[in-house]
Amino acid sequence: MKTWFHQWGSPPHFYERAARWTPWFSVLALVTLAYGLIGGLVLAPMDYQQGQGYRIIFVHVPSAWMSMFIYTTLAIAGGIALIWRMKLAEVYIAAAAPLGASFTFLALLTGSLWGKPMWGTYWVWDARLTSELILLFLYLGVIALYSAIEDKRSAARAASVLALVGVVNIPIIHYSVEWWHTLHQGPTVTKFDKPSIDTAMLLPLLSMALGFTFYFAALALVRMRLGLLQRERYSRWVSDMLNQSQVKS
């Protein structure tokens, strides 16, 4: 396990493996997103209460899931960066934070579009929406903090601390509907007793969640490879790789 951990912490090893994995994640994202969109927007039945407007959940729910998932991985990477000083964890923070912010913004936007016909307003200051908005600010804080510090190792450590401090917001987002009486709909995917989501709606929703995850993985790998090249541009392994590519060409 220790050997595997250190091997994956090696920038040249990761750079090579990421190049192989990116196409696979891209194909998986394309397949699962295509099935989810067709199944959710075309094949799934109309909801008897919300009508056709409920179909926005096939984008909103996976976006909200990704917003929390990515921030949790940021906190994990931040802990690794602070404890073991692993460059790859630092590069991941810089690569993943903008993607997480994008998913969070998409979750808030689609939630507002859904809220207007269902609640009669685009926004209410309920616990779920407010804590999700705080999550967006935390992402922006990580991005701004990393960009503001010139030394990227110091920047990554500062961003790691903020990511670890902000992770307390994740369980608040998740359990806010249960802890406080809010307008936001309660859990349906993880609830197997009645009322639960219909299978014809559940399968496309899960497929969209997988598709968003694969899409994020592919983009994160691409961004991490670019980040590694930028930070390691004077390293020997980058020079050797460039020399080999020139010889082949």
Beta bridge partners, 51, equal 47
Output the six-digit token pair for 108. Answer: 């808030």
The average pLDDT across 239-249 equals 71
Give the E-state strand segments of 27-168 in sequence order: none
Q: What's the average model confidence in pLDDT over 122-150?
A: 94
Please write down the long-range contacts of 108-116, taking CB distance under 8 Å and 24 or more positions apart.
Answer: 108/132, 108/133, 108/136, 110/56, 110/59, 110/60, 110/63, 111/60, 111/64, 113/56, 114/53, 114/54, 114/56, 114/57, 114/60, 115/183
pLDDT band at 132 (very low <50, low <70, confident <90, very high): very high
Bigger pLDDT: 220 vs 118: 220
In the chain, domain spans:
20-43+54-234
Q: What is the pLDDT of residue 195?
A: 45
pLDDT(220) > 60:
yes
Give 244's pLDDT tier (boundaries 50, 70, 90).
Answer: confident
Query: Whole-model pTM?
Result: 0.91
Q: Are 212 and 62 in contact (CB under 8 A)?
A: yes
DSSP 14-48: HHHHHHHHHHHHHHHHHHHHHHHHHIIIIISPPBT
Q: For residue 192, what pLDDT band results from cuts at 50, 70 and 90?
A: very low
pLDDT at 127: 85
Average pLDDT over residues 134-139: 98
Structural tokens at position 65: 């899931």
Residue 43 has pLDDT above 60, yes or no: yes
Instruction: Return the C-alpha torsion angle 159, 161, 163, 165, nearest 10.
Output: -150
State the chain's mean pLDDT as an integer: 88
